[in-house]
């Protein structure tokens, strides 16, 4: 290896000790990598990052009911060590996994069933240089999310949801400063329909103006992504 080329510090965090050993062994055959390993525990990962100055973290995915913990773990690691590029190692993926992984701070998703080991090495180099490791299908998932209308979940003092999904979208767009006409264009509904939504929202929340609605939303709302609710052709009622 050319001594002028900096080695990449790779940390493997896998719940399976055997799988971790096999992956570490394979990566260590590449002279450009300095490889360490640890469990998937947050404290262990942070401690190892501190000791080995990791550049890239390879984190094995969980499946089943505990899969949501992957995104919590990635997010906490991203907040604690933003300079470390996180790659989620999966055997399969779907739209929700892709969206939540990148939203949590992952720089890439590597699927062992779709790509050979040499592509993992390329993935490590790519994310280490500040790029994303993402295929066209995964990119399409993210583009669809960006194109979706935002939503604002509005609750009462007991935490109960007060509005329908469509009404939450209308509130979110009002909070962004859009006019009734602009909201109608965004949701592909008629302006008259948007006015009817606003009257229902005002009635449910006890507000009487857009200003009051925005202030209420600021105090009782939580921004969240929403599935696109197609409005179809503009409606007259």
* Residuewise pLDDT in 10s, the chain (237 residues): 555 457 999 999 998 888 899 999 999 999 999 999 999 999 999 999 988 889 999 999 877 656 667 888 898 999 899 999 999 999 999 988 998 899 889 999 999 899 999 999 999 999 999 999 999 999 998 887 776 666 667 666 676 777 888 888 898 888 878 889 988 888 889 999 999 999 999 998 888 888 888 887 777 666 555 444 444 444 444
What is the structure's pLDDT at 232?
43
Domain range 148-224, CATH architecture: Orthogonal Bundle (1.10)
Sign of CA dihedral 171, 175, 180, 186: negative
Domain 8-144 has CATH 3.90.1150.10: no
Q: Is 60 helix (H, G, I), strand (E, B) or coil?
A: strand
Total-model pTM = 0.65
* Residue ranges of domains in the chain: 8-144, 148-224
The DSSP code sequence of 63-86 is -GGGTHHHHHHHHHHHHH-TTSEE
Question: Strand 221-224 to strand 151-154: parallel, antiparallel, or no bridges (unpaired)?
Answer: antiparallel
Q: What token pair was written down for 51?
A: 């000791």
């Amino acid at each position: 290896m050319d001594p002028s080329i900096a080695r990449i510090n790779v940390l493997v965090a896998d719940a399976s000790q055997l799988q971790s050993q096999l992956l570490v062994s394979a990566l260590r055959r590449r002279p450009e990598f300095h490889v360490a390993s640890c469990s998937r525990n947050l404290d262990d990962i942070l401690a190892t990052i501190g000791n080995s100055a990791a550049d890239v973290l390879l984190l094995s995915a969980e499946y089943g009911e505990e899969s949501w913990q992957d995104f919590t773990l990635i997010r906490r690691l991203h907040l604690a060590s933003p300079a470390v590029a996180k790659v989620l190692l999966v055997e399969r993926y779907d739209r929700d996994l892709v969206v939540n992984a990148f939203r949590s701070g992952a720089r890439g998703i590597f699927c062992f069933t779709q790509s050979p080991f040499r592509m993992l090495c390329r993935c490590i180099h790519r994310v280490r240089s500040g790029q994303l490791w993402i295929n066209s299908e995964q990119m399409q998932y993210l583009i669809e999310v960006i194109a979706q209308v935002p939503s604002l979940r509005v609750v009462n003092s007991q935490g109960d949801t007060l509005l329908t999904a469509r009404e939450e979208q209308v509130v979110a767009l009002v909070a962004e400063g859009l006019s009734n006409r602009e909201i109608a264009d965004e949701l592909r509904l008629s302006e008259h329909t948007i006015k009817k939504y606003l009257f229902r929202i005002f009635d449910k929340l006890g507000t009487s103006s857009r200003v009051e609605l925005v202030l209420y939303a600021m105090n009782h709302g939580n921004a969240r992504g929403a599935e696109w609710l197609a409005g179809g052709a503009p409606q007259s009622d």
